[in-house]
Chains A and B, each alone.
Chain A
Amino acid sequence: MGSRASTLLREEEIEEIKKETGFSHSQITRLYSRFTSLDKGENGTLSREDFQRIPELAINPLGDRIINAFFPEGEDQVNFKGFMRTLAHFRPIEDNEKNKNPPATEPLNSRTNKLLFAFRLYDLDRDDKISRDELLQVLRMMVGVNISDDQLGSIADRTIQEADTNGDSCISFQEFIKVLEKVDVEQKMSIRFLH
């Protein structure tokens, strides 16, 4: 229940999440309230069905892939910490974070991590490579039945050709970064969280 939001979340947990994700205290408590209202099973974790119940997400062509990003390999439940860790990728990069000396571990919302999130949407089998087949499947999710196989195939071929530098007909994460180096990832993969 939403009304228990602030009481069920222990202060230490909030501190821990704050450190890991960079969200503020009030953002964490409010996201917890959102988390509990999505949690229809009321067991402290979200399942894929809980996500699919959001209509705007259900109509998103990549909805299933985005939901999948919340679940570690082989698991079908995500707890609040995991939920926050995935959301943290979309925190904007603040000015003071940019200028600071790089911290020991890379923050979840860094450019690289934002790109990694996008990369994994395409990387269906999680082998750190986007093959032609994987790209085709994701393309098919995005366009539905509206584009012919031939045409989609040539789009996939061209995309891989453009990105592939070592000639293995796959896109590695390094190649992915290279292709998107001119794109304003920091802004396009960020959501304006209010305080």
Chain B
Amino acid sequence: MENFWAGVLWATEIWLYLIVCLIMIPAMFGFSLGISETYMNILVKTLEWATLNIQKAHAEEESSKASASNGLIQREHGSMEKELGELRRSRPKPPVGGDFTLSDCFYFSRRGIESIVDDEVTQRFTSEELMSWNLLTRTHNDFQYISLKLTLVYGFGIFVRYCILAPLRITLVCIGLTWLVIGTSAVGFLPNCRVKFWLSEWVHVMCYRICARGLSATIRYHNKENRPKKGGICVANHTSPIDIVILCNDGCYAMVGQVHGGLMGIVQRAMVRSCPHVWFERSEMKDRHLVTKRLTDHVNDKTKLPILIFPEGTCINNTSVMMFKKGSFEIGSTIYPVAIKYDPKFGDAFWNSSKYSMVSYLLRMMTSWALVCNVWYLPAMHQEEGEDAVHFANRVKSVIAHQGGLVDLQWDGGLKRAKVKDTFKEQQQKKYSSMVVGDDSSSNSD
């Protein structure tokens, strides 16, 4: 029995040494030994091979599979005026009593049914559907028996993911987070000077690099010359809390957010000691003026790190960008847009917060194949003269959407939890009314 425990202890020691030598030290100084690259290469080859096999097996259904990704229906995008105009072509405009025909409801019915079959918003809050199975039992493509070979590979994949990668990744993330708490607390005791800023940045980046390895993140940064600079606000599209780890691998940001309890709270309190993050109490978040003022103060201090904000306010499944809340665009500082696009083939990065808790989400991520993503730094943007915050926010949003290959939506991400505001329906009614009575007669009527 004693021998057994000695053996376990010994194995654990070796395990930790290996982690420290092969992963931690490279992560600290930001170089790579090529292990993860080799893993990625093998992975890409395996998935390509699997895709090929699946396609062969489904050769006869090929055509149906191809359209599966493009949605269920082809929507008409004609405006209300155009479509109703077509409906009314067959009858002359009546001389009195407004322009209404019984067939006007056709337009609304078709629009309504179209949105029931396939709408733009709700599907953004569930996992993206994949073209072909990626040997994970996640998202819409479940396990399917295709051939013995493929099933064996799938089984082997489970073993690798759960028995080798998962323990390794969990150890890494634990070390990373502990290190972050200890490191930032220690740095916090130093007096404010250049050394402190430098050390703080180093500790942050190092911890995030360790965490990123804990997710096997392969991140490609594009246009590094546009990296956010001090005294600005960095805005990015939001898929999951991991976005922060991804961005912070390449530089430090000041975070903005609510003070959490539990584990997150400990990390937050430690971080704020070494570096001026902007945390708000729950009660303070409601006070818009206070929030804006603290952000403005932060931005005006040119020695402070750029603020990182996700203006969508909620996680979207990385196929689209939703409405940007205007708050961060009212401050009037330089905006550095960043587009983040994950590769869904290797694992679904989207955090469906209404379905999974933070911890179970992280466990899912750590048992996926890998996290592959592209980050594009876009040229700095400024509010134009006479431009209001909403318009500016939309302009930044469309730039990000365009670069990341994401669909640019006007809808509010808050619809994930809240009902749509009545004013949107009123707008539709108003538009229709003006077609019924015409603009001239509506002014006569009162």
Complex Cα–Cα for A38 and B433 (A)? 31
**A60 contacts B115, C-beta separation under 8 Å:** yes
CB-CB under 8 A from B104, the residues of chain A are: 142
Complex Cα–Cα for A128 and B64 (A)? 41
Complex Cα–Cα for A154 and B393 (A)? 45
Whether B98 is near chain A, meaning CB under 8 Å from some CB there, is yes
Whether A4 is near chain B, meaning CB under 8 Å from some CB there, is yes
**A66 contacts B141, C-beta separation under 8 Å:** no
- Which of A12-20, A98-106, A175-183 interfaces with chain B? A175-183
Number of residue pairs A-B, CB distance < 8 angstroms: 196
Partner of B140, one of A33, A87, A148: A33
**B141 contacts A87, C-beta separation under 8 Å:** no
CB-CB under 8 A from B427, the residues of chain A are: 59
Q: What 1/0 flags go to B82-97 for Cβ under 8 Å of A?
A: 0000110011001011
CB within 8 Å of B: which of A166-180?
171, 176, 179-180
CB within 8 Å of B: which of A140-159?
142-148, 150-151, 154-155, 157-159
Chain B: minimal CB distance from A102 (Å): 24
Residue of B nearest to A154 (CB): B97
Whether B79 is near chain A, meaning CB under 8 Å from some CB there, is no
CB-CB under 8 A from A7, the residues of chain B are: 142
CB-CB under 8 A from A154, the residues of chain B are: 96-98
Complex Cα–Cα for A5 and B144 (A)? 13
CB-CB under 8 A from A165, the residues of chain B are: none
Chain B: minimal CB distance from A86 (Å): 8
Chain B interface category by residue count? 35 or more
Chain B: minimal CB distance from A150 (Å): 8
Nearest 8 interchain pairs by C-beta: A144-B429, A146-B433, A56-B115, A66-B112, A182-B90, A62-B108, A192-B74, A143-B433
CB-CB under 8 A from B405, the residues of chain A are: none
CB-CB under 8 A from B73, the residues of chain A are: 191-194
Chain A: minimal CB distance from B302 (Å): 42
Whether B162 is near chain A, meaning CB under 8 Å from some CB there, is no
**B446 contacts A148, C-beta separation under 8 Å:** yes
Whether A55 is near chain B, meaning CB under 8 Å from some CB there, is yes
CB within 8 Å of B: which of A1-50?
2-7, 26-27, 30-31, 33-34, 37-38
CB-CB under 8 A from A179, the residues of chain B are: 102
Chain B: minimal CB distance from A55 (Å): 4
Whether B122 is near chain A, meaning CB under 8 Å from some CB there, is yes
Residue of A nearest to B419 (CB): A58
**B96 contacts A61, C-beta separation under 8 Å:** no
CB within 8 Å of A: which of B102-119?
102-119
CB-CB under 8 A from A59, the residues of chain B are: 420, 424-425, 427-428
CB within 8 Å of A: which of B417-446?
419-420, 424-430, 432-434, 436-437, 442, 445-446
Q: Residues on B close to A: CB < 8 A?
A: 61, 63-64, 67-68, 70-74, 76, 86-87, 90-91, 94, 96-98, 100-123, 126, 137-142, 411, 415, 419-420, 424-430, 432-434, 436-437, 442, 445-446
**B110 contacts A191, C-beta separation under 8 Å:** yes
Residue of A nearest to B64 (CB): A26
Say whether, besides A61-B432, A188-B87, A194-B70, A66 and B108 are in contact (CB < 8 Å): yes
**B429 contacts A143, C-beta separation under 8 Å:** yes
Chain A: minimal CB distance from B122 (Å): 6
Say whether, besides A151-B437, A163-B102, A157 and B97 are in contact (CB < 8 Å): yes
CB-CB under 8 A from B425, the residues of chain A are: 58-61, 63, 144
Residue of B nearest to A160 (CB): B102
CB-CB under 8 A from B94, the residues of chain A are: 158
Complex Cα–Cα for A63 and B426 (A)? 13
Chain A: minimal CB distance from B241 (Å): 23
**B430 contacts A144, C-beta separation under 8 Å:** yes
**B117 contacts A37, C-beta separation under 8 Å:** no
CB-CB under 8 A from B419, the residues of chain A are: 52-53, 58
**A118 contacts B109, C-beta separation under 8 Å:** yes
**B113 contacts A54, C-beta separation under 8 Å:** no
Chain B: minimal CB distance from A138 (Å): 8
Whether A51 is near chain B, meaning CB under 8 Å from some CB there, is yes
**A3 contacts B108, C-beta separation under 8 Å:** no
Complex Cα–Cα for A66 and B110 (A)? 9
**B105 contacts A3, C-beta separation under 8 Å:** no
**B72 contacts A193, C-beta separation under 8 Å:** yes
CB-CB under 8 A from A194, the residues of chain B are: 67, 70-74
**A155 contacts B420, C-beta separation under 8 Å:** no
CB-CB under 8 A from B139, the residues of chain A are: 2-3
